[in-house]
Chain A
Amino acid sequence: MTAVDERPATPASAPRRRPNRMLALLRNSWRQLTSMRTALVLLFLLAIAAIPGSVLPQRGISPEKVNEYFVEHPDLAPRLDQIGAFEVFSSIWFSAIYLLLFTSLIGCITPRLRDHVRALRAKPPAAPKRLDRLPQHTVLAAPAGGTAAIVEVLRRRRWRVTVRGNEVSAEKGYLKESGNLLFHSSLIVVLVGVALGSWYGWHGNRLLVAGADNAFCNTRQQYAEAQLGPQVESGDLPAFCLTLDAFQARFLDTGQPEFFNATVSVEEPGQATRTADFSVNSPLRLDDANVYLLGHGYAPIIRYTDRYGRSQTSTTPFLTTGDMGLTSEGLAAFPDANLDPKTGKRDPNLQMAFTGLYLPTAPDSAPYVRSQYPTERNPVLNLVAYRGNLGLDAGIPGSVYQLDQRQVQTGRVKQVGDKLLKQGETWKLDDGSTLEFLGTKRYITLSVRHDPGSGLLLVACGVLLVGLMGSLFGRRRRVFFRVTPAGSPDPASATTTAGSSLVEAGGLPRTDYPGFADEFAQLVAAISGDERSGERAGTEREGSDQAGTREGTE
């Protein structure tokens, strides 16, 4: 990379009108910003600014952990929140750093792009007067064809060649700068791809219980949580419906999962219903959305028969608590229970709710609080029954997976017993109503996403890699040849080749390139028509490396 900060401020020219101070300030700040030193500082700031994003919990990744942090550090958390420490990667300061960095990048590569295009179209420069001053220099007998033969050899080796009279100039390794510019330009495209994804993308998370009556259709309201990009309206979501037909999971004896597979029926508008399988590493790819399998669990089927003999069945997903054995907790609420058949009215104080744990494989003895294995070897529901006003009618949003604790604390909901239920067992409550544990259904948790920037990202990343390799492994270098007619004095080799014309050759690596001496030797050997001497030069590694050390960078 060229050192932009080393560029002289303004060429010393004749005294002229004092420049506009504002313009000068702007120009100087621009120069500062686009200098390599500033870019390096910004790079390091970027690295440092990313650290809190890994140390502190982030809203975008784990909002529940952010809430925990607020509880654990009630003094510190709000202050951290003010400076955006829980949303580091969308905070003002992080954005400022990378936007400045990209501005600096654009300011740096634009002039270089212009220069490089110019260089690509220009001819290699004229040979310097004294080739013996170059890092590589030698004199050899001129090949039979003169300059034409030299040009021929160089062209075969894909050098860019120009002939000026008896001089040949050649240059190679434009790939280095091309790659460098390609790499940096594709970084900008990566940023654009990310921006596209966040503006026009959307995603939502949802739980899907097996069975046709639990089918899910893709609308905003169907998601427990959804995030739509600023350019996306609810109506833009593609219409499709999913039904979970089957879910398979295999586990090792230790409980470690080994294999997951979900089978769904997909309905898309204008297409026949089809079944599709997807799994953890192979999402279901639909036209304008991808469906990812995030997790799975069990939804116990519970039938409650109230004191008037009316039955209701609920299939409620119990949420896994994160342990190996898939211990799950949940709530089955029956707000419409105990509807008096005579009056046709329900008594709000006779609503029923059952909360507790579901253990796919319950232990043989108490306490029944932790499942031993993730499949249903000994399924047990460990429930507590509540009766009273569940507070669902108050209109206050609450979790459908948890009993409203305010109602319990105020005594409006009372605990009326607890029971351990095996599959098929019935629990008779104090008022004669019964609860049956009929079985379970599988559920899966899904993430549905659409990222229109991902294709662009992929292409940009591919180009970035190609550019990076060109930039790191390409080597810009120049060679010059001057054919001197016979008889001209040349002390170096006049004795051996007196009478024939001579070629003076010089080589200049324009970047750090230890192997240039080898390449030069081989090139010279090829021109003098002696390939073997070139090989010999190639084997003298130690010596040529020593020579290579003298070649400084540009």
Chain B
Amino acid sequence: MSALSDQLVTFAILVYLVAMISHAVEYALGNARARIVKAAPVRELVGAGAGGPGGTVESPVDPAPPVRSAADRSAGRARLAGLIAVGATAVAVLLHLAALVTRGIAADRMPWGNMYEFVLTVSFIGAAAWLAVLAKRPSLRRLGLFLTLVMVLLLAIAELVLYVPIVPLVPALNSYWFVIHVSTIVFSSGIFLLGVVPAVAFLMRNGYEQGRRSFPYTLAKRLPAAAALERLTFALHAFSFPIFTFAVIAGAIWAEAAWGRPWGWDPKETWAFISWVVYAGYLHSRATPSVKRNVATWIAVLGFLTMLMNLFGVNIFFTGLHSYGGL
């Protein structure tokens, strides 16, 4: 069962990669000039990967076709690539879920006992929530390129660096609060993870819409409108923040039972506090008209960096009571 889970993770990474390449192809084909790219991305992993994303930036003119039929054909192919990408993402999410379930069955507990399992679950939540967002707002499809990129990176890190074999939980984790605290932390982290994708995309797109044509901004040429990205960013963060708050409170209740105090400024707690404060700052600045939206969005990105610091930095550099990383 454990080996099956590991294989499923590998498959999920591959299918996310397929989705990413298809998104890249869609991105490239969205160009005004129809470039002929063979639209069989599933088979041609390497070829499309090398050719696809490299040739995205061609002309600043939006689809104003020189030759109508070619443009139509290109648009059709782009749509096809986009659909393949979404389909591949869905398949990858299913594989991802299967990997988690088999890992959980093999361990006979929730698969959140160490950093490897944690990253696996957080990224699953992010990807699944992305599909939910996509179902509601299909026009945001092109964001998938960035999301699948993040997925591939995170899962590869999990597989290559963080992997640990299955062991049962230490007694300290053996509590129903484990399920409550960790599931909500995982869930909110997944949504924050998803939230940072439109946040970064907004920052690029916003710069692009303000006429910037230097490197990171040019990538945003084919992204959805800045306002839509910004609203999605806010919606995701506003959704996740109360869950994160609940998770931290649940953690405090558990800490009271396990360690005798609800809050003790353990490094993990300190960084959760920092993240909470930064995200609260984001929500406040988003609601303050005198703060520009891109400043507010930067704060959201900063919040995600503090979450990353809490996950990787605290587990690796600091010792504290939350030393369950398994590294």
Contact = CB atoms under 8 A, between A and B. Distances in A.
A260 B139 CA distance: 54
Contacts of A194: 263
A375 to B, nearest CB: 15
Contacts of B270: 50-51, 53-54
Interface stretch (A117-125, A341-349, A456-464): A456-464
A468 B241 contact: yes
Contacts of A280: 171-172, 174, 258
Contacts of B288: 1, 3, 36-37, 40
Interface in B234-259: 234, 238, 241-242, 245-246, 249, 252-254, 256-259
A281 B175 CA distance: 6
Interface stretch (B40-48, B147-155, B206-214, B276-284): B276-284
Question: Which among A44, A51, A54, A89 has the highest number of chain B CB atoms within 10 Å?
Answer: A54
B195 to A, nearest CB: 14
Contacts of B264: 60-61
Nearest to A89: B265
Contact of A472 (B168, B170, B241): B241
Given A1-B284, A61-B264, A281-B177, A47 B171 contact: no
Contacts of A36: 284, 288, 290
B291 interface: yes
A47 B274 contact: yes
A419 B271 CA distance: 49
Nearest to A36: B288
A512 B314 CA distance: 37
B35 interface: no
A292 interface: yes
Given A40-B288, A281-B175, A451 B261 contact: yes
A46 interface: yes
Interface residues of B, number: 55
B111 to A, nearest CB: 17
Nearest to B176: A281
Contacts of B175: 281-282
Interface stretch (A75-83, A145-153, A251-259, A482-490): A251-259
B265 A454 contact: no
A72 interface: no
B280 A281 contact: no
B267 interface: yes
Contact of A51 (B228, B266, B274, B291): B274
A465 B242 contact: yes
B287 interface: yes
Contacts of B168: 252, 256, 258
Given A43-B281, A46-B277, A469-B242, A292 B172 contact: no
A62 to B, nearest CB: 9
14 contacts: A37-B291, A43-B284, A47-B277, A60-B265, A61-B320, A203-B260, A258-B168, A258-B170, A260-B171, A282-B257, A447-B259, A458-B253, A465-B246, A473-B238
Interface of A: 1, 3, 5-6, 36-37, 39-40, 43-44, 46-47, 50-51, 53-55, 58, 60-61, 88-89, 194, 203, 252, 254, 256-260, 279-283, 290, 292, 447, 449, 451, 454, 457-458, 461, 464-465, 468-469, 472-473, 512, 514, 542, 545, 549, 553-554
